[in-house]
Amino acid sequence: MASFNTDLYGDQVGAAGSSPAASYPLAKSVGGKLRFAVVTYALAGTETASDTINLVRLKKGAVPVPALSRVVHEDIGDALTIDVGFTSNDDALADGIALGTNAGDVAFTANGTATAAQYVPAEIATGDEVIFATVRTATNIVAGKKLLFLVAYLDE
């Protein structure tokens, strides 16, 4: 029976003839403290395409985890589609997620077009600390309806 190793496991136990990695706990790129920024936003009702909603400021070096992030929303009106990201990549965390007319719970990865490469952990760089949502489409948005963003990230 064959046994195969992930890159992480190989780093932990050391390659043939080398010492195992000495840095425990694991680096943020493969582990760390999982935290959630819990952010509530009440719709103004005037949001239109290209508007941005500033959600949270993460510290440099934090690692967002889109696969564990989501938006819980009330009945927001006819249509609201958003991206979530930061300055250098405004849809790095969520790309074109549609918040339906009925209240719901939508994963950042709900659009179904994400690839495995999009989930490779990447630290927040200088200038990218603010996580924001960009409105792509907004039709008959109801003022006062709430969006609850759960932004998952790894920290030291």
Give the CATH number, domain containing residue 151.
Answer: 2.60.120
> Is 113:71 a contact under the CB 8 Å cutoff?
no
Domain annotation covers residue 120: yes
> Which residue range forms the structural domain that includes residue 42?
32-155
Q: Token pair of 33, please?
A: 């403290």
Domain annotation covers residue 12: no
Identify the DSSP state of 117: G
pLDDT of residue 25 exceeding 80: no
C-alpha to C-alpha distance for 112 and 88, rounded to whole angstroms:
22
What integer is the mean pLDDT of 93-116? 84
Identify the DSSP state of 37: E
pLDDT of residue 154 exceeding 80: yes
pLDDT of residue 136 exceeding 80: yes
Rounded (5°) CA angle 71-131-48: 70
The model carries a pTM of: 0.83
Q: What is the pLDDT of residues 39-97, one digit of tens each?
A: 999 999 999 999 999 999 999 889 899 989 999 999 999 999 999 999 988 998 999 99
Domain annotation covers residue 13: no
